[in-house]
Amino acid sequence: MDAHSQEVLLKKRLQGFLSEMLKMGTLKGFKHFATYMRGREEMVISIVNEPQTTHHTYVSESGGTGFSSPDRSGSLTSQNLPYDKRSLLISMRSQMTLSTAPKGVGLPPASPSDQEIQIGGEDSTLFLVAGYARYCCPYVWVRSNHERLIKLTGDSANDKDCPLKLKTTLHWKDSDYNVWDIVAELVKLCCYPAPINPYEIDFDYFDSLTLPEQVLATAAMSNFLQKVLVHVPDDKAYISKVFEEIQLLTKLHFTALQKVAKSGGIPVLNQHLQAATRRQHRTSGSSVSSRQRIPSSGEKYWGGQQAPARGYSYSQY
């Protein structure tokens, strides 16, 4: 495959990635992180530094992340905090190789980290997940609490805007990674102790919603988790936990839906049903009008002669 064809293919894949990122970025109800979209190409994610449920700690998986670290499994996890910048940041030399921008620019984000508004204070760390068209693949930058994650030395100002050396982003071009894989790796890197299930649900949030909101929010979250369940390999430690969360969410969804149906329904659903009823009435009216336009004598269909008084029957023969 030539360079042009590869670029076209990567940009097409990137569009699919951005579509999934938009869906994830508008979801609420995760226990260990919160997201919001900042334009079509950028998703800001705030990850808690310490999970609320510390009894669910991370279990090492086979394969690791490909980083060199003191951990025996070869996986860079939050127990290694703060990380050596050579193991977590893409060096400027590597950025020059990967970048298609003018020489000396590297792979900077759209805005420097010192302009980022911190959400959650020191209890969480901000990351920027972006799929810029000019890079043809997603990258992740740290937006706050750099010192907690990275041992910054020397030119720390430039280091703060270097993208992270994640397994999911480095191998995105030749692997089937999506936005949920990137977020799972970030939670594992940032939370200490790292939770088994990065997508653990905050059911208190869903309980605080009104019934119509609860129906819609649980449906959206269930749809997302089902995608995670289908696309993430079974050897990931958190997949069984995701399946359990889907079961609980589904039960909550249908319980809320039943209550809403008894209380008068969701306004949007009522409007849809009313529109469907109106269309059905119009269709029925058109059918009646069509039948009324057919001549009762049927002379048109019998060459101007009187139609038979009665139909034929086998008893005549």
The answer, yes or no, to whether the previous bond of 267 is cis (omega within 30 of 0) is no
> Do 212 and 259 form a contact (C-beta atoms < 8 A)?
no
Give the whole-angstrom CA distance, residue 139 versus residue 116: 17
pLDDT tens-digit profile of 196-249? 999 999 999 999 999 989 999 999 999 999 999 999 998 898 999 999 999 999
Q: Which pLDDT score, from 0 to 100, does residue 30 have?
A: 97
Q: Which pLDDT score, from 0 to 100, does residue 287 have?
A: 56
pLDDT tens-digit profile of 28-48? 999 999 999 999 999 999 999
The answer, yes or no, to whether the previous bond of 193 is cis (omega within 30 of 0) is yes
Q: Which pLDDT score, from 0 to 100, does residue 117 have?
A: 63
Q: How are strands ordered across the β-sheet holding 139-142?
A: 33-37, 42-48, 124-130, 139-142
Instruction: Tell me how far apart the terminal alpha carbons of the chain are, to the nearest angstrom.
Output: 77
Across 83-95, average pLDDT: 76
Residue 47: closest CA among 146, 183, 167: 183
Q: pTM of this prediction?
A: 0.74
Give the whole-angstrom CA distance, residue 190 versus residue 129: 14
